Amino acid sequence: MVDIGAGHGASEYSPFFAEIATHYTGVDLDEDVLENQWVTEQVHTSAEAFGERHQAAVDAGTAELFDLATAIYVWEHHPRPTELLRAMYDVLAPGGTALLITPNGIHPFGLASKVLAKTGLTDTVLRKLRPEEIDHYHFHVEATQNTPWSVRKCAVEAGFAAVDIDLHDEPGVFRPYLPERLHFLPDVYSRAIAVTKLDVLSGTLIIEVRKANGHQR
Ligand SMILES: C[S@@+](CC[C@H](N)C(=O)[O-])C[C@H]1O[C@@H](n2cnc3c(N)ncnc32)[C@H](O)[C@@H]1O
């Protein structure tokens, strides 16, 4: 498998993939990936450059295509997410799966991220709310095309045959961005969308896309 935007490997999912993958490649624009202890191979470059390089290596017979490509909380940092998906498509074997997670652009958090990104205020606001995050672990936010219908459109444009989007709402994800006296809000919101069955307003998009068997874009 390949994890695009693998980062330094401190996230909870890295040990899980390290256990199940026979070969785990981590790719990231940020040099922190070189400290990622969970991956078998650390590649310090962009998804796009990796896609081209890996395809050339496959053509030369020195590398194999991947069964699984992941990009966890990377979509919202990419200015053109279809290009991210294309790079993932290009390194996947026929029948392979790509799995991505990103905040939903129509959840209040997603909407706020979009407005802050457009007005250039992300860093200022984050510095007030989560100073520890901005100093140690913050990447430029684009928050573009991260609604369920835009994701579907991008996935089809990138060549994927099947698109499955799971809408997930976990209040704990958003609590740390709010002052303590407002920590109840994400729970109230979550209960409200469950009662009204407005799943489309959930906080997180879990995206699974598949490449057709023998399919070429
Ligand atoms: C919020 S971090 C997520 C890291 C890790 N996946 C996690 O969930 O902890 C986003 C990562 O995506 C990387 N990234 C953004 N655009 C990228 C691109 N075009 N190619 C490769 N990595 C990219 C950033 O450098 C950063 O490490």
What separation in angstroms does the CA of 140 have from each of 75, 113, 122, 134, 144?
A: 11, 11, 8, 10, 12
Distance 6 CA to ligand 1 centre (A): 6
Residue 42 bridge partners (DSSP) = 26
Kindly state if the Cβ of 78 falls inside 6 Å of ligand 1.
yes
Q: Per-residue pLDDT tens for 19-43?
A: 999 999 999 999 999 999 999 999 9
CA distance linking residue 101 with residue 70, whole number of Å: 9
73 lines ligand 1 (CB under 6 A): yes
For residues 60 and 154, what is the distance between their CA atoms, to the nearest angstrom? 29
Query: Which residue has the CA at smallest separation from atom 11 of ligand 1?
Result: 5
- pLDDT tens-digit readout, 169-202: 999 999 988 989 999 999 999 999 999 999 999 9
Q: Which atom of ligand 1 sits closest to the CA of residue 10?
A: 9
Assess whether the C-beta atom of 71 lies below 6 angstroms from ligand 1.
Answer: no
The CATH class, in words, for 46-210 is alpha beta
